[in-house]
Every structure is written in structure tokens, then in C-alpha cells.
Amino acid sequence: MISLEDNLIKTVFAIPKMDCLAEESLVRRALEQAEGVSWLDFDLSARQLTVLHNTAPEKLLDYLVPLGLDVRLIETGPANGEATPIPASTERSTLKLLLAINGAMFLVEIIIGWLAESTGLIADSLDMLADAAVYGVSLYAIGRGATVQAKAARLSGYLQLLLAVGALFEVVRRFLMGSNPEPPFMIGIALLALIANVACLILIAKHRQGGVHMRASWIFSTNDVIANVGVIVAGLLVLWTQSPLPDLVVGAIIAGIVLTGALRILKLARLPTVDATKDGDS
């Protein structure tokens, strides 16, 4: 629960390059060093940040501009009372459910994907595992200091990088060695994964305007839904053309998405905070 002080200001910033957990954590760590900040409200889908504070908005820009995320001030004015953030304990419970769902679907998809010779299902299973890894690391980082959060972001990036490389290797191996994907398994398991990810979206829906990690979780699950639809379409194309090429293409696309996210997280995790010496964690 935040305490609304006298003369509290509400300032909205546009951050065009903020679209995942890594960028949100980077911004949060930077503003932890600023004085007078009472609350941060991230909206990753709109690429915006709302700050409740009692200092000059220009001083906040001094912490945000060096991050290289193209930050600009949209509006500022009296806070006039704002909703309190969702408790971290509630977010933690949701993250645990997301971790369990993604972990279970990884096991289902990797086993069926291997048996059905589907690179699309295998890549999607590794995407599920990548998300599960991010949720697990996020659970560990909740409530900890900036240094621990930075290490957690790097760990997430390395895990996703490893999984992306593994998925790309499997695509190349099956392209060279040949494969015979089974469309019924592709379509059926992808539908099951789609149901699981829709369930994740329902779980996250009430947290979309909440605190750290939750908007990133919404984006992860939204991207997973798109990947599931891609596997279903690929399965239908394999059934229609009797060619494994659509399966290989969708597998490569999903692996590329995971790889891009991993590289972005690792790049941002290396950026320093405004004043790292104020972080007491080691």
C-alpha cells in the first residue's frame, strides 16, 4: 500500500524500446536510485511508465535517458489519488501457477514433438521452458536488491540463449537428415498448448496493471499463443502439402523469437545502473 504524500506528482513517460521483463527491470533498478519516487506503474503493451513522485520530473529523466530506451516525458501533473499496486504475494502465487503450467506443457510438447518428428512442437516446447525459466528466476528475484535482479536477468538470458541454440540445431539437423512430422499430433498438442496459454492469460489478466514481471508475463503468454497458432497452421500445411517444410519453417521462427529475446536480455543486463554502489546485495 502506498502512502499518498502532499504534492505528490503523477508523471507519464513513453519508453518505445521497453517491451519485456529485462527493460522493465532495468528501468526499475535505475529509478530505485532516485529520491522521492513513491510508485512505478509499467505498461509494457503501451511502452509507458507512470511514476508517482514528489520531485521534479526532469530529475527522473536524468536516470532514464542514459538507459538508451528513447525515454520521453508525455505528461505530468498532480496525482490526485491513485490505485495501489497489487501485493507481491499475489503476484508470486500467479507466477508459481505460470511456472507449473509452462513446465508441464514443456514436458508434454518435448516428448510428443520428438515422437512425432515435429520441429515446430520441439521449438514450442523449448519456448515454454524458456518462459518457465524466466518465471522461476523472477520468483527468486522478487523483493531482492538491484544486483540480484541483474544477475537474475543475466541467468534468464543465458538459459534462453541455450534453449534457442538447441532449437535451431534441431531444425538444421532435421532439415539435413530429413523428417516426417505427424500433422494430427502437431495440431492436437498445439491446441492443448493453446488452451494452456489462454489459461495463463486469464491468470495474468488481473495483474496486467500490477507490479514487476506481470506485464512481461502477459507478453510472454501472448507470444506463446501466437506460436501455438503457428504450429497449428504448420500442421495443416504439412497435412495439405505432404511436405515437412512448413514444420521446419515454424520451428525456425519460434527458435528465432527465443534467440532474439535472449540476446536483448543479455544486452540490457550488462548495462549499469545509475549508481550501483547504493545496492547492498552481492
Are 201 and 221 contacting, i.e. CB atoms less than 8 angstroms apart? yes
For residues 67 and 108, membership in a common domain is answered with no
For residues 95 and 69, membership in a common domain is answered with no
For residues 29 and 121, membership in a common domain is answered with no
For residues 165 and 244, membership in a common domain is answered with yes
Encode pLDDT of 195-225 as tens digits. Answer: 988 888 887 776 555 444 455 566 667 777 8
Does 262 map to a domain? yes
C-alpha 241/C-alpha 246 separation (Å) is 9
Does 143 map to a domain? yes
Of the residues 31, 61, 81, the one at which a domain ends: 81
For residues 193 and 131, membership in a common domain is answered with yes
For residues 171 and 210, membership in a common domain is answered with yes
C-alpha angle 165-167-170 in degrees, rounded to nearest 5: 110
For residues 119 and 219, membership in a common domain is answered with yes
SS3 content of the chain, % helix, strand, coil (to 5): 65, 10, 25
- Each residue's pLDDT, cut to its tens digit, for the chain (282 residues) gives 334 445 788 899 999 888 766 677 778 778 877 888 877 877 777 888 888 888 888 889 988 888 888 899 999 888 775 544 545 556 677 778 888 988 899 999 999 989 988 888 888 888 888 778 777 776 776 555 555 656 666 777 787 788 888 888 888 888 888 888 888 988 999 999 999 888 888 877 765 554 444 555 666 677 778 888 889 999 999 989 888 899 999 889 888 877 877 776 676 556 544 433 344 343
Cell numbers that stand for 77 in this block: 501533473
What is the domain range of residue 102?
A: 88-269
* Number of domains the chain contains: 2
Contacts of 117 (CB under 8 A, 6+ apart): 174, 179, 180, 181, 182, 244
Are 16 and 47 contacting, i.e. CB atoms less than 8 angstroms apart? yes
DSSP helix/strand/coil, 191: helix
Q: What is the CATH number of the domain that holds 71?
A: 3.30.70.100
φ and ψ at 62, to 5 degrees?
-60, -30
For residues 105 and 175, membership in a common domain is answered with yes
Are 67 and 271 contacting, i.e. CB atoms less than 8 angstroms apart? yes
For residues 163 and 217, membership in a common domain is answered with yes
C-alpha 227/C-alpha 30 separation (Å) is 33
For residues 77 and 92, membership in a common domain is answered with no
For residues 66 and 95, membership in a common domain is answered with no
